[in-house]
A = this chain, B = another copy of it.
Amino acid sequence: MDKDLAIEGILLGTASAGIRQTERDDIAVIEICEGSNVAAVFTRNAFCAAPVTIAKEHISQQAPRYLLINSGNANAGTGSEGYQDGLQTCQMLAETVNCSSTSVLPFSTGVIGERLPTALFQPAIETAVQNLKETGWSDVARAIMTTDTRPKQAETSFEINGQTITIVGISKGSGMIRPDMATMLAYVATDAEVEQELLNSCLNNAIDKSFNRITVDGDTSTNDACVLIATGKSEFCITQEQVSELEMFQAALGNVCIQLAKAIIKDGEGATKFITIEVQGGQDKEEALEVAYTIAHSPLVKTAFFASDPNWGRLLAAIGRAGITDLDISKVSVTLGDVSLIEAGEPAVTYTEEQGAAVMAEDEISIYVDLARGIATETVWTCDLSYDYVKINAEYRT
């Protein structure tokens, strides 16, 4: 957090509006230089929040110049009044910076079902605009936190033909995490020039292997959004034709997004373990993912991880109920870390409880499931279910 990250063409500022707490800033403004391309992906939750509806409308009308983010209130479940509230905050920023209101994308995260306190926004927006600076990334990473215990950011730089390209990203999210798209907010920017359609496809590819592969509790939020900005200030243009350069850019972008996604899981509500679930041998991607998510969402598996208990029967039960109707369990193998649990449907003869317990005692644990039905492989990241998850979510509003 102490690095002065920057992407030329992006300015960031924060301020305190006191929406829910006053200890840290809760309003962020991101200014995007003219000529940038911006791609965005939003939650698929049918009850999406007012700011999601507005952001989708605005980005379809013109290239965004400003992002306005608040934490503490999600402006979700607020009906048509919430929609008007969201529009009003866009208007406030638009008037402050003298741009059109549709060039502002609003984002909100926090409690659902309460009216947005718009009266608090005007002075905070003015302050945030005054604070705009190129090195404001870590300030924004902090201002968008809700139950997050730490800010999340990632960056990478790489050279193409002697030109340095930089990608910087920040994210927030801790509970209500089963991104689909992500249950979180994430903002990623690069100084590369990337044509709009290609930028959209790069973002979708990166999300599909990062934010769409994490789950804390299976609850897809109403407010998820991920934005990718390409300012083009590096004067290096990524195009469909330059295959190797595009691959480098896609890999670097994927890497940043995976780092941000994993950071969300490591900061999952009450999480004490970081768990990687790799399912291989699926007939297709869908069934491999279904098995991975069934394991990742099983409260019995998650509480066993919390207890560092190698209760692998719960893994089998989860695999068995994942909905593959013709699953031949006599072919299934399961490995915990480097310890074989099940080999072709039978308990591994080499397994000892001590070996299992040693793996479970680690902070980071990997599970490998081989369905032996095909060649599809999928990886999902999750965390355990602890007392603190219950505590945090039972006390969130009180």
Chain B residues within 8 Å of A97, by CB: none
| Contact yes or no, A395 B313, CB < 8 A | no
Sorting the interface of chain A by its residue count into under 10, 10 to 19, 20 to 34 or 35 or more gives: 35 or more
Chain B residues within 8 Å of A314, by CB: 112, 219
Chain B residues within 8 Å of A180, by CB: 321
* Nearest Cβ on chain B to A348's Cβ, whole angstroms: 10
Given contact pairs A176-B317, A303-B393, A306-B390, A113 touches B347 in the complex (Cβ within 8 A): yes
| Interface majority SS (helix, strand, loop, mixed), chain A | loop
Q: Which residue of B lies closest to A297 (CB)?
A: B218
In the bound assembly, the distance between CA atoms of A112 and B318 in angstroms comes to 12
Is the CB of A337 closer than 8 A to any CB of chain B? no
Taking A46-B327, A46-B329 as given, write out 14 further A-B residue pairs in contact, using a Cβ cutoff of 8 Å, ordered by the A residue number: A46-B319, A47-B319, A47-B320, A74-B313, A77-B342, A79-B345, A112-B313, A113-B311, A175-B300, A217-B298, A222-B313, A299-B385, A309-B397, A387-B391
Chain B residues within 8 Å of A47, by CB: 316-317, 319-321, 329
In the bound assembly, the distance between CA atoms of A300 and B394 in angstroms comes to 8
Is the CB of A333 closer than 8 A to any CB of chain B? no
| Contact yes or no, B111 A313, CB < 8 A | yes
Binary CB contact string for chain A from 151 to 168 against chain B (1 if under 8 A, 0 otherwise): 000000000000000000
Candidates B76, B342, B387; contact of A313 at CB < 8 Å = B76
* Nearest Cβ on chain B to A334's Cβ, whole angstroms: 10
Is the CB of A312 closer than 8 A to any CB of chain B? yes
| Contact yes or no, A397 B311, CB < 8 A | yes
Given contact pairs A46-B319, A312-B113, A313-B112, A299 touches B397 in the complex (Cβ within 8 A): no
Is the CB of A220 closer than 8 A to any CB of chain B? yes
| Contact yes or no, B45 A307, CB < 8 A | no
* Nearest Cβ on chain B to A54's Cβ, whole angstroms: 15
In the bound assembly, the distance between CA atoms of A77 and B333 in angstroms comes to 12
Chain B residues within 8 Å of A48, by CB: 320
Given contact pairs A219-B299, A220-B321, A316 touches B112 in the complex (Cβ within 8 A): yes
Chain B residues within 8 Å of A342, by CB: 77
Chain B residues within 8 Å of A299, by CB: 217-219, 299, 385, 389, 393
Candidates B77, B312, B329, B394; contact of A307 at CB < 8 Å = B394
| Contact yes or no, A219 B303, CB < 8 A | no
Is the CB of A250 closer than 8 A to any CB of chain B? no
* Nearest Cβ on chain B to A150's Cβ, whole angstroms: 21
Q: Which residue of B lies closest to A176 (CB)?
A: B300
| Contact yes or no, B394 A390, CB < 8 A | no
| Contact yes or no, A306 B76, CB < 8 A | no
* Nearest Cβ on chain B to A270's Cβ, whole angstroms: 9
Binary CB contact string for chain A from 365 to 398 against chain B (1 if under 8 A, 0 otherwise): 0000000000000000000011101110111111
23 contacts between A and B (CB under 8 A): A46-B319, A46-B329, A74-B313, A76-B317, A77-B316, A77-B317, A77-B342, A79-B345, A111-B313, A112-B311, A113-B313, A175-B300, A176-B300, A217-B298, A217-B299, A218-B297, A219-B300, A299-B299, A299-B393, A303-B389, A306-B390, A309-B398, A390-B390
